């Protein structure tokens, strides 16, 4: 039987069985502890440049749904139009899935999208290693002597790779929201449209102020990579904060808002990637279970006096949300739009809509 290998930057070599595309690939090796939601995760632009390890022991049981779109032209069951992971590592994958939505198995899906997979890996042991040593660069290869170089997405502007290239408008209500697309998930757009808001989705570096767009609200999306790379977005968000227009951010949007306000961010040892992260609202004391996918966080000590910490992660006490003390400007590090994950915090979209 053919073998393939996961090579880590510390010299570790792990042997497994290849599936998916017959190609070598390199990226940052991260892990997700969720039990479901792989179609959404594979197509989440926040995973751009990363090799994803799934800890649940059997992946692909319910197959891969079709490419059908909703009334707004967004794919119903995926979070973007592409698979963004650089590779997949699992213990076992299901070759014969069963679900009425299923059109193919994940082996076929990865082949179609030229993404290699590696099975028969002790993903719990690999996760423990990454948790103790921190995320590492790695590569999936069929030959341990493959010339492919390690790839670090944090040294690249991966946001530019996943953002839309020109403005797109999704019409709903009379209130207009500019969505700064740094790798926005489809369900963010859907969640805004469901609140009867017209969404003007713009590229990460598009100065909508200079182009004469006058929105009622500004929304900063999720996205991949190091938030320090998108300096043009920082400048646009600075203008947004100064404008007095309501601003809301998610995930990378939380980090960009903090940087634009004058704070700093830092890389987490192994990040938060799961659908079971507990976060506490410091204003109410309520705790919510959230879906998360990020490797960077806001340095609380560097927040300017105009901002305060809004949410914290109950597990490690990292910042999970910030809020301006007097202006309608706020952001969260988790994903209130879910997909995959709990909808406990979907009310935050209502909160944003009410500010407009």
Indicate which CATH number applies to the domain containing 230: 3.40.50.880
Boundary (domain end) residue, out of 130, 155, 180: 155
My answer on whether 318 and 180 are in the same domain is yes
My answer on whether 17 and 148 are in the same domain is yes
296: its two tokens: 């960077």
My answer on whether 128 and 220 are in the same domain is no
251 catalytically annotated: yes
Place of tokens 């751009």: 48
pLDDT for 335 equals 98
283 catalytically annotated: no
Interval 93-140: pLDDT, tens: 999 999 999 999 999 999 999 999 999 999 999 999 999 999 999 999
Catalytic hit among 79, 182, 251, 320: 251
- Whole-model pTM: value is 0.97
Burial letters for 181-203: b for 16+ Cβ neighbours within 10 Å, e otherwise? bbbbbbbbbbbbbebebbbbbbb
The end-to-end CA distance of the chain, in Å, is 60
Provide the β-strand partners of residue 141: 5
Structural domain tally of the chain?
Answer: 2
Q: What is the DSSP-derived secondary structure letter of residue 264? A: -
Indicate which CATH number applies to the domain containing 25: 3.50.30.20
Range of the domain at 336: 158-355
Interval 24-49: pLDDT, tens: 999 999 999 999 999 999 999 999 99
Q: Is the pLDDT of residue 202 over 90?
A: yes
Interval 270-319: pLDDT, tens: 999 999 999 999 999 999 999 999 999 999 999 999 999 999 999 999 99
My answer on whether 150 and 163 are in the same domain is no
Q: What percent of the chain has pLDDT over 70?
A: 100
Mean pLDDT, residues 63-81 = 96
Q: Is the pLDDT of residue 338 over 80?
A: yes
Catalytic hit among 40, 79, 320, 337: 337
Interval 205-254: pLDDT, tens: 999 999 999 999 999 999 999 999 999 999 999 999 999 999 999 999 99
Boundary (domain end) residue, out of 91, 126, 155: 155
pLDDT band at 79 (very low <50, low <70, confident <90, very high): very high
Boundary (domain end) residue, out of 94, 129, 155: 155
Interval 188-199: pLDDT, tens: 999 999 999 999
Nearest Cα to Cα of residue 219 among 194, 248, 182: 248
Catalytic hit among 84, 294, 324, 335: 335
Q: Is the pLDDT of residue 154 over 90?
A: yes
337 catalytically annotated: yes
My answer on whether 162 and 145 are in the same domain is no
Q: How far apart are CA 36 and CA 71, in angstroms?
A: 26
Find out whether 53 and 6 touch, Cβ atoms under 8 Å: no
My answer on whether 63 and 110 are in the same domain is yes
My answer on whether 112 and 258 are in the same domain is no
Q: Is the pLDDT of residue 172 over 90?
A: no
My answer on whether 62 and 120 are in the same domain is yes
């Amino acid at each position: 039987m053919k073998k393939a290998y996961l090579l880590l930057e510390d010299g570790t070599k792990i042997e497994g069985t290849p599936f998916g595309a017959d190609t070598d690939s390199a990226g940052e090796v991260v892990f997700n502890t969720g039990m479901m939601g792989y179609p959404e995760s594979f197509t989440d632009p926040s995973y751009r440049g990363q090799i994803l390890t799934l800890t649940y022991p059997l992946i692909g049981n319910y197959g891969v749904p079709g490419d059908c779109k909703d009334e707004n032209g967004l794919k119903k069951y995926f979070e973007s139009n592409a698979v963004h992971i650089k590779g997949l590592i699992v213990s076992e994958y299901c070759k014969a899935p069963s679900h009425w939505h299923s059109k193919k198995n994940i082996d076929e899906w990865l082949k179609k999208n030229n993404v290699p997979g590696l099975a028969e890996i002790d993903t719990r042991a690999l996760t423990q290693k990454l948790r103790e040593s921190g995320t590492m660069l790695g590569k999936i290869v069929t030959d341990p002597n493959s010339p492919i170089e390690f790839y670090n997405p944090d040294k690249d502007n991966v946001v530019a790779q996943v953002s839309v290239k020109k403005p797109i408008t999704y019409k709903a209500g009379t209130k207009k929201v500019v969505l700064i697309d740094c790798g926005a998930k489809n369900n963010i757009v859907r969640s805004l449209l469901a609140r009867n808001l017209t969404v003007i989705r713009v590229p990460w570096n598009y100065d909508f102020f200079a182009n004469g767009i006058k929105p009622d609200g500004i929304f900063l999306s999720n996205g991949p990579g190091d938030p320090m790379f998108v300096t043009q977005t920082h400048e646009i968000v600075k203008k947004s904060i100064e404008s007095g227009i309501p601003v809301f951010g998610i995930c990378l949007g939380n980090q960009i808002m903090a940087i634009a306000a004058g704070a700093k961010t830092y890389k987490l040892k192994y990040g938060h990637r799961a659908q079971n992260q507990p976060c506490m609202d410091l204003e109410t004391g309520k705790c919510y279970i959230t879906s998360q996918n990020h490797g960077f966080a806001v340095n609380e000590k560097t927040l300017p006096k105009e901002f305060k910490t809004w949410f914290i992660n109950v597990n490690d006490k990292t910042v999970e949300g910030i809020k301006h003390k007097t202006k309608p400007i706020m952001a969260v590090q988790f994903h209130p739009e879910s997909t995959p994950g709990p909808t406990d915090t979907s009310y935050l979209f209502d909160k944003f809509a009410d500010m407009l």
